[in-house]
Every structure is written in C-alpha cells, then in structure tokens.
Amino acid sequence: MRLRWALVALGLLASTAPVVASNAAVGLGDASARAVTIPTWLYLLSGGAVVGVSALLAGVVTDRRLLAHVQGWGPHREVPAVLWRLRPLGPTVGLLLVAVVIHQGWTGPQLALVNPAVAIAFVGVRALVPIVAMTAGDVWRWLDPVQLVGTRGAAPDGDRWPAVGVYALAVWLETTAGVTDSPRRLAVAVAVYLLAGVTITRLWGYPVWHHRVDPIAAVSALLARVAPLRLTADGLRLRLPGVGTVVDVPRDDADAPLRPGELALVLFMVFELTFSGFINSAPGTEAVGVVVGWGLPPLVVYLGLFGMGAMLTGGGYAAAAVVAHRRIRTTYTPEMLALVFGPTLLAIAAGYHLAHYLIFAVSASPLLVAAVTAPLTPLSNPVVLAPPAWTQAVPAVAVLGGHVIAVGAAHISGFTAFPLRRTAIAVQVPFVAVMVGYTMLSLWLVTVPTAAALFL
Amino acid sequence: MAEPLRCAHCDRTFVDAERRLAHTALRHPTTLDPEGITAYRALYRREQRRLRRLRLELIGGVVAVYFAVFVLYTVVG
C-alpha cells in the first residue's frame, strides 16, 4: 500500500514538473534567472504528456479496495434544518432575477456594461450557475422560477434530446444574435425561455420541462456530479472532485449511467466551449476571415464550423468507443461503452468552463453584486476587478485538472464495470488517447490571443 | 460469437466463464462454493502475474514520457 502511495506521489511530481516549466511560456517564468522561451508545440506536448502520464500511473493502481476507498472517502455533516426551510424562497429569488433581466433589458440603457440585465444573465447564470453546480451541487434545482407554476416530481420517461436542441440554439444565438451587446434582445430571449418553460409545464408538467427540455437544468444537474460537495436529505458530504461521475455497479448489460441524449449534451458542453474559444481567438478570426474572403457569407461559415466541430467532437468520442470495443472481449455494445465512460467527460467540461469563465466571473463579480443589490438602477459606475498576473495560469490549470480528474474517474469506472482488471485497463486506452488530443487543442485555445469574432 | 454466458444472480452476460467467475466473486461473493473460490483464487493469481508485467511497462512509460519531455526542453531551451 505504502509503495502505491509513493508511486502516486512520484507520478504527481513527474506530471506537475512539465507544467511548472511550461508556465514560463505564459510569462510566469520572468522571475527566474534565465527565462526559457518555449515554443507552443512543446508547451502543448507537455500538457498532453501530463494527461498521458496520469493515465499511465492510474493504470498501476489495480487494487479494487483502494479504488473503493478513494470513491467513498469524505466526511459527512448534518446541515441545519433552516436550510431546508429556506428552500421555497429559491424559485422566488429566481423569478425576481428573471423579472429584472426582462424589465431592465427592455427599458434600461442599451449598453451591456451598465445594464443590470446583462450582468445577471451572463455573470450570474452563464458563468456562475455552472461554477456553483460543479463545486456545491445542482443550484438550478433551487433557483428555477418555472417550478412556481408546477409541481416537482420524478424524472419522466424520455431523454434530454430537446435540451440538446435548445442548448445548441442558445449557444448559436449567443454567438450570432448579439444578445451579449443588446440588452433588449437578451430580454426577448429570456422572456421566450420563461414563456416556453411555463407553457410546457402547464401542458405536460414541470418534470418534462426540468428533466427533458431546460438546458440550464441539464447543465446544472450534470455538472453537479463532478461537485466535491453533495447535499442530500441526509446532510452534506464532501468527496473527491469527479468521483460522482464514476458509474455504479451495472445491473445488466444495458444499465447505463447516462442516457444517449445526456451523453450528447455532455459532448456538446465540451464542444461549445471549444467553439466559442476558437471563434473568439486570433487564429479563429483569421481563419474565418480567409474563408469569408472566398465569398461565403459569414453566417454560413460559422454554421459550418459549428456543425463540423460538433460532429468532430462526437465522432472522436464515438471512434474511441468503437476502438475500445475492439480491444476487449465484452458483451457490451460500443454504444454502451460510450455511455459508461460518458460521465467522466463532465470533469473535462467542468475544467473547460472554469478555463473560459472563472476569471471573467471573478473580475465581473462587482457588476453582478451591483445588479443584484440595486436591480432597478443602471450601474452608474461599473467596476471590474483587474485579475493579477498569476491568474493567467488558471485556464491551463483548469483544462489540465479537468482532464486528469477525468482520467482518474474513467479508471475507477472501468474497474466498476468490468470484472477482469486487465480489461478495465485496456478499455481506457482509446478514451485517454482522445483526451490527450483534446487537451492539446484546448491548451492551444487558451494560450492564443483572444480577438472579437468578426462579422457578427 | 458464441452465446454469451449469463450470471446466475443478475442480468449481466459475459463472453467467457473466466469473466463470469470474476464477476460472481466480486459482486455476489457469498454465492461462490468452495470450488468456485479455489478457481477464482487461481484466476486472480494468474491475472496478478500478468499485471505485474503490465505495471512495470506502465512505470517504464511514465519514465519514458518524462525523459522525452526533459530532453525536448533541454534541446529547445
């Protein structure tokens, strides 16, 4: 046992060393006596190596009891009963915030930085709801205002495919329809969203809206599986981040931890952040500019990128599942393998979200505070915090951390799903290979300079 | 492919008896008879021998990756 821990420690040391060195590439090495300029390819390779090494080391740990211990670790606390009594206030708070967004968005100043609607929608919901969900648990279940017109209940039959569609539409509108710049358009979008929620709840019941259609609820519920904190009726439990994505012991050959639509949603979460990262980067705008120069309308170019990127993300993962299926002898189908390892992608999605939104959420938090404390007045003196220099390491650390956690979770999932240990290790290899590739792509995106997307 | 073997206690199926035995030992350990226990011990030991080799290869891989990255940094820096 002690040997294993020593190996794990050695591995951590080995895998962090390249990161420390590669930080020099993003300007943190200035303090050292001899600054080393590192080419981007080496920086990316080092990042990929971190994920690869963490997978190699995870493969060494084959003791099921140790893995169960890792999975079950964490203290448990009772929560004060007052928390449950406060619970009914959540949807009312949510409704007030939505009302502010619609009212202020429509009537307030049409300038994004001073309009409270934009601060609440983009700092509060877009950036912070997923961040709170991935750290403290499913926050949207508490805030969702639509539950005021319906009753909560068990998840209905059927998948989250509608949520995938609504999510894709929302991301597309965010990219192309200028809801970030025009508070009035934002107000219309939020009103349509609320109206859709109320209509669906009235027609088919709240569970259909919450468990099948609402993309915010889906993102919040799925990311909550990564959260180190878990609030249940028994109290609050602390656990290692990501262990909540590990599969339960399967009951039969079709007992998947995710439904296909949920897997599509998780893959879309990963893709969506890559897409917005790409089109808002200098190489991205350059590439789009070149293609537009050939005479294609910009919207078609963006739609093509959107579609192709989504296909590539899904296709890469599907290919990993097919290859994994060929590598092992199992009665599972490739689809089932994709679903077994699907939840581990949530750690990656969480890492990407932090990489893209954490600094933004922190630096724009005064806007949100001002918007919430004085919702009816435009922000007369908008304050944005300037992040200190070291925070530029946050995106890379978040991307790498998400992937490393995902590798660990995939390892434990493999051991839960397969009785033979060598199968459990062999099945992970294609998934890890895809993860290494995706790590390098995402690291590249967070290191290139950002640029406002053109033609939108 | 041959007809999959079904676990006697749950609905999972397996491609061969070895995998079914490992599953039964891990998930339904109280149902194993003494012969099953002996067979599983033998299987476990066989697997352990293979894993020992695999573990060395994995550690070798870690060292190789670290070494390669180190060399690259030396060459580039």
> Mind spelling out the 3-state secondary structure of A413-450?
HHHHHCCCHHHHHHCCHHHHHHHHHHHHHHHHHHHCCE
**Is the CB of A56 less than 8 angstroms away from the CB of B27?**
no
A337: in domain: yes
Instruction: Give the tens place of pLDDT for each residue, A305-319.
Output: 899 999 999 999 999
Q: Looking at residue A25, what is its pLDDT?
A: 39
Q: Looking at residue A351, what is its pLDDT?
A: 93
**Which 8-state DSSP code applies to residue B29?**
G
Please answer whether residues A403 and A435 qualify as being in contact, where contact means their C-beta atoms are separated by less than 8 angstroms.
yes
Q: Looking at residue A454, what is its pLDDT?
A: 66
Please answer whether residues A144 and A221 qualify as being in contact, where contact means their C-beta atoms are separated by less than 8 angstroms.
no
Residues A157 and A301 both lie in one domain: no
pLDDT band at A370 (very low <50, low <70, confident <90, very high): confident
pLDDT band at A354 (very low <50, low <70, confident <90, very high): very high
Residues A227 and A359 both lie in one domain: no
The tokens describing A101, both together, are 């967004």
Residue A284 lies in domain: 2-73+240-447
Domain end: A211, A237, A263, which one? A237
> Helix, strand, or coil here: B43?
helix
Domain end: A221, A237, A253, which one? A237
pLDDT higher than 50, residue A143: yes
- Whether B39 and chain A come into contact, CB under 8 Å, resolves to no
Residues A360 and A424 both lie in one domain: yes
Rounded CA-CA distance A24/A40 in Å is 11
A210: in domain: yes
pLDDT band at A12 (very low <50, low <70, confident <90, very high): very low
The residues, any chain, with a CB within 8 Å of residue A287's CB and separated by 6 or more, are none
> Helix, strand, or coil here: B13?
strand
Residue A426 CA neighbour count, 13 Å, CB half = 17
Which residue in A180, A130, A398 sits closest to A280, CA to CA? A180
Instruction: Give the tens place of pLDDT for each residue, A178-211.
Output: 777 888 899 999 999 999 999 999 999 899 999 9
> Helix, strand, or coil here: B5?
strand
Residues A297 and A401 both lie in one domain: yes
pLDDT higher than 80, residue A453: no
Residues A98 and A222 both lie in one domain: yes
Specify the range with the lowest mean pLDDT, choosing from A28-37, A95-104, A432-441.
A28-37
Angle at A50 between CA A45 and CA A55, to 5 degrees: 125
Average pLDDT over residues A94-115: 88
Q: Looking at residue A174, what is its pLDDT?
A: 85
Residues A121 and A212 both lie in one domain: yes
Residues A20 and A124 both lie in one domain: no
pLDDT higher than 60, residue A28: no
pLDDT higher than 60, residue A13: no
Please answer whether residues A248 and A259 qualify as being in contact, where contact means their C-beta atoms are separated by less than 8 angstroms.
no
Q: Report chain A residues touching chain B, CB-CB < 8 A.
A: 7, 11, 14, 17-18, 21, 36-39, 42, 45-46, 49, 52-53, 56-57, 59-60, 62, 64, 249-253, 329-331, 419-423, 425
Please answer whether residues A245 and A225 qualify as being in contact, where contact means their C-beta atoms are separated by less than 8 angstroms.
yes
A121: in domain: yes
**Is the CB of A419 less than 8 angstroms away from the CB of B14?**
yes
Rounded CA-CA distance A120/A108 in Å is 13
A14 → closest Cβ in B14, B50, B66 = B66
Average pLDDT over residues A247-276: 86
A452: in domain: no
The residues, any chain, with a CB within 8 Å of residue B73's CB and separated by 6 or more, are A18, A21, A36, A38, A42
Q: Looking at residue A280, what is its pLDDT?
A: 85
Residue spans per domain, chain B: 5-76
Residues A390 and A316 both lie in one domain: yes
* E strand or H helix that includes residue B14: strand B13-14
Please answer whether residues A162 and A218 qualify as being in contact, where contact means their C-beta atoms are separated by less than 8 angstroms.
no
pLDDT band at A17 (very low <50, low <70, confident <90, very high): very low
Q: Looking at residue A34, what is its pLDDT?
A: 57
pLDDT band at A401 (very low <50, low <70, confident <90, very high): very high
Q: Looking at residue A29, what is its pLDDT?
A: 41
Suggest the residue from B14, B46, B69 to mutate for an interface test with chain A (most A CBs closer than 10 A).
B69
Q: Mean pLDDT score of chain A, rounded to an integer? A: 85
A454: in domain: no
pLDDT higher than 90, residue A159: no
pTM reported for the whole predicted model? 0.87
**Is the CB of B62 less than 8 angstroms away from the CB of A14?**
yes
Q: Looking at residue A448, what is its pLDDT?
A: 84
**Is the CB of B72 less than 8 angstroms away from the CB of A253?**
no
Residues A191 and A290 both lie in one domain: no
**Is the CB of A253 less than 8 angstroms away from the CB of B12?**
yes
Which residue in A398, A269, A271, A416 sits closest to A346, CA to CA? A269
pLDDT higher than 50, residue A66: yes
The proportion of chain A whose per-residue pLDDT surpasses 90, expressed as a percent, equals 39
A38 → closest Cβ in B22, B51, B76 = B76
Residues A101 and A30 both lie in one domain: no
A367: in domain: yes
Please answer whether residues A378 and A116 qualify as being in contact, where contact means their C-beta atoms are separated by less than 8 angstroms.
yes
Residues A331 and A404 both lie in one domain: yes
Rounded CA-CA distance B44/B28 in Å is 16
pLDDT higher than 50, residue A57: yes
Please answer whether residues A155 and A403 qualify as being in contact, where contact means their C-beta atoms are separated by less than 8 angstroms.
no
Residues A250 and A374 both lie in one domain: yes
Please answer whether residues A324 and A433 qualify as being in contact, where contact means their C-beta atoms are separated by less than 8 angstroms.
no
- ipTM (interface pTM): 0.91
> Helix, strand, or coil here: B8?
coil
**Is the CB of A422 less than 8 angstroms away from the CB of B10?**
no
Domain end: A210, A237, A264, which one? A237
Q: Looking at residue A192, what is its pLDDT?
A: 94
Give how many domains chain A has, as a whole number: 2
pLDDT band at B1 (very low <50, low <70, confident <90, very high): low
Distance (Å) of CA A324 to CA A62, B7, B13, B14, B61: 19, 23, 18, 17, 20
Rounded CA-CA distance A218/A247 in Å is 18
